[in-house]
Amino acid sequence: MKVAGLLLTVLLTTGTAAAQDYLNCHFVPGWEPSGARRQYVADNLYEYKDGGAEGYLQYNFVRMQGITCASGGNTLDIDVSEMNDADSAYGMLATNLDPGQPIAKIGMGGQVQKQSASFAKGKYYVELVEVATNPDSDNSAMLQAFVAKMLQFIEGRETPPETLGWFAPEDLASTRVVPESVLGLKQLKRGYVAKYKQGQAFIVQEASPEAAAAVLKSLRDKFDGAVPAQAGDEGFQAKAKYLDGICIFRKGKFLAGYANLPEAQDAVALAVKLASRIP
């Protein structure tokens, strides 16, 4: 029994060490650890993120591990947040991306700027934030070097959620994962939203076609003046406060559609095209 217990302890210790290999200040020469490593879970994340903790919890946050590195008078905070799944990690990333900058092919996606970087890979969302003695310095090359090393130790998917590829690319401004109440409608739980130059589209997956049909009915009953729309397996169109022209349809277990169009019929035409892109 003692041998078995010792073996279990060794295995757990080895697993923890392997999981934390991505927290290494020595990935880039000249940087050294400063202080102890950080570890937070949902119950105490507010101690570190204060008012920002809620944003992490919305995306199925599990735990965060972090380290502070120092080089001369510069410091670098590296935090790795583990979410329940890869889509949640990508959702956290998309929420915090700079919309004025392109998304780089770093894991599922990311950005490297002058004094900060972020990316998502698998179920992990990673942030690197430098506090430099010269606030105008461009240290993106150093950050890129850290990111490249960390990617070697973080496991998981390196492609964005497949669903995002179903949105039409023409005039697409941005996409994101919405953790709850898509379009502000409580019936539409977690899903994907694409913003266009005009209007926005969404896709929500339910557990089954029957569940999706039930949600569609509750939504149709919600909107006064809703009329049937020939999109997907079944759908409706309406004019709604704050959502303007809207069309919502069901295709299999997916609910999808368009909103914020001048007229409901405009939303229907685009919804038909979206339905054709959903497998």
Instruction: List pLDDT tens digits, range 32-65.
Output: 999 999 999 999 999 999 889 999 999 999 999 9
186 and 267 together in one domain: yes
Instruction: Tell which of 91, 121, 153 closes a domain.
Output: 153
Q: What are residue 270's phi and psi, to 5 degrees? A: -75, -35
pLDDT of residue 121: 98
Mean of the per-residue pLDDT values of the chain = 92
Domain count within the chain:
2
181 and 247 together in one domain: yes
Angle at 251 (CA atoms; ends 238, 261), nearest 5 degrees? 30
225 and 260 together in one domain: yes
- The answer to the question of residue 177 being in a domain is yes
Q: Which domain holds residue 51?
A: 22-153
pLDDT band per the 50, 70, 90 thresholds, residue 119: very high
Q: What is the DSSP string of 14-29?
A: HHHHHHTTT--GGGST
- The answer to the question of residue 14 being in a domain is no
For residue 110, the domain's CATH number is: 3.40.1000.70
147 and 209 together in one domain: no
The pairs formed by 130-139 with CB atoms below 8 angstroms and a separation of 24 or more are 130/74, 130/75, 130/76, 130/77, 131/74, 131/75, 131/76, 131/77, 132/74, 133/72, 133/73, 133/74, 138/114, 139/74, 139/114, 139/115
pLDDT tens, 218-259?
Answer: 999 999 999 999 999 999 999 998 999 999 999 999 999 999
pLDDT tens, 52-103?
Answer: 999 999 999 999 999 999 999 999 999 999 999 999 999 999 999 998 898 9
pLDDT of residue 57: 96
148 and 40 together in one domain: yes
Which tokens sit at 94? 């998309």
pLDDT of residue 20: 61
| R_g over Cα of the chain | 22
Specify burial of residue 250 (Cβ count, 10 A radius: 0-12, 13-18, 19+). buried
- The answer to the question of residue 5 being in a domain is no
Instruction: Tell which of 153, 186, 202 closes a domain.
Output: 153
117 and 209 together in one domain: no
